[in-house]
Amino acid sequence: MIANYGYKDGSGDYFIAIDTDKCDGCGACVPVCPSSVFMVMDEDPNDPLREEPVAVVTDDQRKKIKYACAQCKPGGDRPPLPCVNACPVEAIAHSW
């Protein structure tokens, strides 16, 4: 499943997509994020019959993801995003 967390407002689309078929819940994305956007859950909340751990974007960050991620997205040259970089299975993508 592709889980899109975030929102769309007048200024643009801000979604973090996690591919739950790739994600095995290893948690590498959790400590590298300076805004603590990610957490690992024991079970996918959107696939209750699966029972495998998976990373999700925390509830309180979903509605302000544009600002939570801002520090890793400076104008001009953008270094690789720590979360995308840390993920060994390339399960994380940003829409902006």
Position 58 contacts other proteins (CB under 8 A): no
Query: In 3D, which of 90, 69, 80, 82 has the Cα closest to residue 24?
Result: 90
Query: In 3D, which of 16, 38, 20, 43 has the Cα closest to residue 28?
Result: 38
Position 90 contacts other proteins (CB under 8 A): no
CA distance between the termini of the chain: 20
Applying CB under 8 A, among 35, 58, 63, 82 the residue interacting with other proteins is 63
Instruction: Classify strands 12-19 and 54-57 as parallel, antiparallel or unpaired.
Output: unpaired
Position 79 contacts other proteins (CB under 8 A): no
Position 55 contacts other proteins (CB under 8 A): no
Position 7 contacts other proteins (CB under 8 A): yes
Q: Where are the beta strands (DSSP E) in 1-96?
A: 2-9, 12-19, 38-41, 54-57, 92-94
Position 9 contacts other proteins (CB under 8 A): yes
Position 54 contacts other proteins (CB under 8 A): no
Enumerate binding residues for other proteins (CB under 8 A).
1-4, 7-10, 13, 15, 45-49, 63, 95
